[in-house]
A and B are shown apart, each in its own frame.
Chain A
Amino acid sequence: KQEVTQIPAALSVPEGENLVLNCSFTDSAIYNLQWFRQDPGKGLTSLLLIQSSQREQTSGRLNASLDKSSGRSTLYIAASQPGDSATYLCAVVNTDKLIFGTGTRLQVFP
């Protein structure tokens, strides 16, 4: 059974820092991995999708990497801003289903 874990569970940093959020999964037979952002009381916004054949994806200040063999993905946020404060979720696709991690709650203070 696929299990997805995110570390750390919570993170509080000053504005301007570069951040790394970690995601690990137990079954490397995945189709893709998706990173989401969730603001309090809101839905999920897709940030990046990495196909199983890819090593990384970039969007603006965000860079996500994937190492299937070790069962890990990282989300790198450059030059963090208070507007980045949210919960970040990673999810892997096994067959057709998304299996979500527990999330990292990020707070960026001015």
Chain B
Amino acid sequence: DAGVIQSPRHEVTEMGQEVTLRCKPISGHNSLFWYRQTMMRGLELLIYFNNNVPIDDSGMPEDRFSAKMPNASFSTLKIQPSEPRDSAVYFCASNPTSSGEQFFGPGTRLTVL
């Protein structure tokens, strides 16, 4: 199995631009999670899906952030418009059951200038 796949691995953009991060979970996993990691705040859960349905988006910082999971093998996290304070590493993770072991992707390092 290839594990959780994220793209791009690095993204540098200018303030105000739209950013789209992509994630492919491990095949057969029913839950998908988006996290953000910064030095100041550590790892924070942004949103998670169970069977493609958003279950809890209370961690999404603002309306500028949105996430979709159109099918079991693909999810996007979009930031529009982006701001410098959005600079962080964004991780996607999946697990076979909602309370099972989570497997993380390599992350996307986002820099907003």
Taking beta carbons and an 8 Å cutoff, which residues of A are in contact with B?
A: 31-32, 34, 36, 41-46, 49, 89, 91, 93, 95-100, 102-103
Contact = CB atoms under 8 A, between A and B. Distances in A.
Kindly state the interface size class of chain B when it binds its partner: 20 to 34
22 contacts: A32-B99, A36-B104, A43-B105, A44-B91, A44-B93, A44-B104, A46-B101, A46-B103, A46-B104, A49-B101, A93-B99, A95-B99, A96-B31, A96-B55, A96-B56, A96-B98, A96-B99, A97-B48, A98-B33, A98-B93, A98-B102, A99-B45
Contacts of B93: 44, 98
Given A96-B56, A100-B42, A103-B42, A34 B102 contact: yes
A42 B50 CA distance: 26
Interface in B70-113: 91, 93, 98-107, 109
A31 B45 CA distance: 17
A43 B91 contact: yes
B12 interface: no
